[in-house]
């Protein structure tokens, strides 16, 4: 047990000084050089996909309308023309089917990116996500890696019903073996999607439909093709000393407005 003498030292005391000394220093803000330009979250995701597919031929994209239609939200714009139908695959409307194919491809060393038109539809494929992708590394004692990304819009959306506007962050965050990411800004979306694609484990990448068209300033460093953010490290959007507000996805914007 640590004993502390309460003797006075001027206007302070040993206890207060000890508490100050033991208080952890604030983590440095994750910031970059001055902004070079502004890009939308949609552009950030599109360029991240493009650069990772260009850098690694094992990366491919599959999902409903990701090819000819260039994605329901145009995230995959231009990718079919550049990489062809072998790497940008339009699938039937059967989430269980193409998600299972994606997991199987990951078992064999490929790096599939499975797009759900909305994450509400991932419920049709949840057996493959939880019982196959998430558990395989543990069940094989680390011998099997499943490098797959499940991505698409999640949470509140515009003009849709309750079945199309649910948030699955808490659901998937409680599944051992899954890494769950929910970016806010263009910088986060670009850097974290690249990290998700490169990761050896299954990643659930939750975007927000209402953020796709929002523009954010980004630096030249963020625009470089080598840019990538670490998974599992929180970002300090604004420094302070009195109150800590934590948020993810679109709620980061609301948190910044009130503080």
State the catalytic residues.
95, 164
Model pTM score? 0.85
How far apart CA 70 and CA 88 sit, in angstroms, is 10
Q: Please check whether residue 54 is in contact with residue 88, taking contact to mean a CB–CB distance below 8 angstroms.
A: no
- Residue pLDDT, tens place only, 30-89: 554 467 799 999 999 999 999 999 999 999 999 999 999 999 999 999 999 999 999 999
The Cα 241–Cα 74 span in angstroms is 41
CATH 3.40.50.970 at 35-258, yes or no: yes
When pLDDT is averaged across residues 183-211 and rounded to a whole number, the result is: 97
Expressed in percent and rounded to 5, the helix, strand and coil fractions of the chain are 40, 15, 45
Q: What is the pLDDT of residue 34?
A: 60
Is the model's pLDDT at 205 over the cut of 50?
A: yes
Q: Which of 222, 245, 225, 221 is nearest to 235 (CA)?
A: 245
Mean pLDDT of the chain: 88
Q: Which residue has the tokens 């699955």?
A: 168
CA proximity to 208, closest of 173, 181, 187, 179? 181
Q: What is the pLDDT of residue 163?
A: 86
CA distances to 32, 48, 152, 161, 220 from 227, rounded to whole Å, are 11, 9, 21, 37, 10
Instruction: Please say whether the beta carbons of 43 and 215 come within 8 A.
Output: no
d(CA 210, CA 201) in angstroms, rounded, equals 28
CA distance linking residue 67 with residue 50, whole number of Å: 13
Mean pLDDT of the region 230-259: 90
pLDDT 10s digits, 155-184:
988 888 888 889 999 999 999 999 999 999
Residue 13 has pLDDT above 90, yes or no: no
Structure tokens that stand for 68 in this block:
């000819």
Lowest mean pLDDT among 11-20, 24-33, 41-50, 190-199: 11-20
Which pLDDT band holds residue 100 (cuts at 50, 70, 90)? very high
3-state class of 248 per DSSP? coil
For tokens 């207060």, what's the residue?
16
Degrees to nearest 5, angle at CA 119 with 217 and 224: 30
User: What was the pLDDT predicted at 30?
Assistant: 53
Q: What percent of the chain has pLDDT over 90?
A: 77
């Amino acid at each position: 047990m640590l004993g502390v003498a309460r003797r006075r030292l001027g206007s302070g005391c040993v206890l207060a000084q000890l508490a100050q000394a033991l208080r952890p220093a604030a983590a440095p803000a994750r910031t970059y050089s001055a902004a070079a330009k502004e890009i939308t979250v949609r552009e950030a995701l599109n360029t991240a996909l493009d650069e990772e597919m260009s850098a690694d031929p094992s990366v491919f994209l599959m999902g409903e309308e990701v090819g000819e239609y260039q994605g329901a939200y145009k995230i995959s714009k231009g990718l079919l023309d550049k990489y062809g139908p072998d790497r940008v695959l339009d699938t039937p409307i059967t989430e269980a089917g193409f998600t299972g194919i994606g997991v199987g491809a990951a078992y064999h060393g490929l790096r599939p990116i499975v797009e759900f038109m909305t994450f509400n539809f991932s419920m049709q494929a949840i057996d493959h996500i939880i019982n196959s992708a998430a558990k395989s590394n543990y069940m094989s004692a680390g011998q099997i890696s499943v490098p797959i990304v499940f991505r698409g819009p999640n949470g509140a959306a515009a003009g849709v019903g309750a079945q199309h506007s649910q948030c699955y962050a808490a659901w998937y965050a409680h599944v051992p073996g899954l890494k769950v990411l929910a970016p806010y800004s263009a910088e986060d979306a670009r850097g974290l999607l690249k990290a998700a694609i490169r990761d050896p484990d299954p990643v659930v990448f939750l975007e927000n439909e209402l953020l796709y068209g929002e523009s954010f300033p980004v630096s030249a460093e963020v625009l470089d093709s080598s840019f990538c953010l670490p998974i599992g490290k929180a970002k300090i959007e604004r420094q302070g000393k009195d109150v800590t507000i934590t948020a993810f996805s679109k709620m980061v914007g609301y948190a910044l407005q009130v503080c």
